[in-house]
């Protein structure tokens, strides 16, 4: 399958710690995106990184992209209880117009 | 500003009954529109996408169909629901230009087929 795969499937940490989630994919991409989903809700776009970029920041979020390893990571610094959610990576493959989502990482921040 | 409306939020339907889920977008023109389905605790499966009125691409052969009667309206339908149609259905839109721009999602419909 072409879809991205997140690792780990579930992550539980203490408030204030950093959370790192990884995403791997199999074919060349145009861009890679990260989304967040609170339980029972729609997804919210967090950050988009294009294939010619290596790192992007947005507030407490840091995304890296290594196209040689076909992988990306999402780092959330100084986590808060409100960061508890599922996080998905989504890739747009070269020549395609649609996003393909991974299975997600369920992040739990313990107060 | 752009908004996306999806309804209903929850739906319980018997097997064999019809289905119609509606999604509308406001504040933008000529959007790409998408229907995704999400099984419990899983990722999203793209069902249909549309780049214009009457233009529907189906990703997965199944018991569902989609229509786009107006530029900012996207409808997901079924003539006879199956148990396997249960899931969380999400509508989304993106700008027409470019490839793979970010998606804006509706709040979802939790469908239970009993």
Closest CA to B77 of B23, B20, B33, B36: B20
Distance CA B114, CA B108 (A): 19
> A46-104 pLDDT, tens per residue?
999 999 999 999 999 999 999 999 999 999 999 999 999 999 999 877 666 678 898 99
Considering only CB atoms, which chain A residues are within 8 Å of B51? Answer: 97
Please give the structure tokens belonging to residue A68: 């040689």
Least Cα distance to A21 among A88, A81, A111 occurs for A88
Please check the confidence at residue A33 and state whether its pLDDT lies above 60. Answer: yes
Mind listing the pLDDT tens digit of every residue in chain B (114 residues)?
889 999 999 999 999 999 999 999 999 989 999 999 998 878 899 999 898 999 999 888 678 999 999 999 999 999 999 999 999 999 999 987 656 688 999 999 999 999
How long is chain A?
111
Query: Which residues of B are less than 8 Å from A98 in CB distance?
Result: 34, 46, 49, 59, 100
Show residues of chain A in contact with B107, CB under 8 Å. 41-42
CA B9 from chain centre, in angstroms, equals 13
Contact A44 B105 (CB under 8 A): yes
- For residue A2, with 0-12 CB atoms within 10 Å meaning exposed, 13-18 middle and 19 or more buried, which class applies? exposed
CA distance A72 to chain B (A): 17
């Amino acid at each position: 399958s072409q879809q991205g795969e997140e690792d780990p499937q579930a992550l539980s940490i203490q408030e204030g710690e950093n959370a790192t989630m990884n995403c791997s994919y199999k074919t060349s991409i145009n861009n890679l995106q990260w989304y967040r989903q609170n339980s029972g809700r729609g997804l919210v776009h967090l950050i988009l990184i294009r294939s010619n970029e290596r790192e992007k920041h947005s507030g407490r979020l840091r995304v890296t992209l290594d196209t040689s390893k076909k992988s990306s990571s999402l780092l959330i610094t100084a986590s808060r209880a409100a960061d508890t959610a599922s996080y998905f990576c989504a890739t747009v493959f070269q020549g395609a117009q649609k996003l393909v989502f991974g299975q997600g990482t369920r992040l739990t921040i313990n107060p | 500003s752009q908004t996306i409306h999806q309804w209903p939020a929850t739906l319980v339907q018997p097997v064999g009954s019809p289905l119609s889920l509606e999604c509308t977008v406001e504040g933008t023109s000529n959007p790409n529109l998408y229907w995704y389905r999400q099984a419990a605790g899983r990722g999203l499966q793209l069902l249909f996408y549309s780049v214009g009125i009457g233009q529907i691409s189906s990703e997965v052969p199944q018991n569902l169909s989609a229509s786009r009667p107006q530029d900012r309206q996207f409808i997901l339908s079924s003539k006879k629901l199956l148990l396997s149609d249960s899931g969380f259905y999400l509508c989304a839109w993106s700008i027409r230009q470019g490839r793979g721009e970010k998606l804006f999602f509706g709040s979802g419909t939790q469908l239970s087929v009993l």
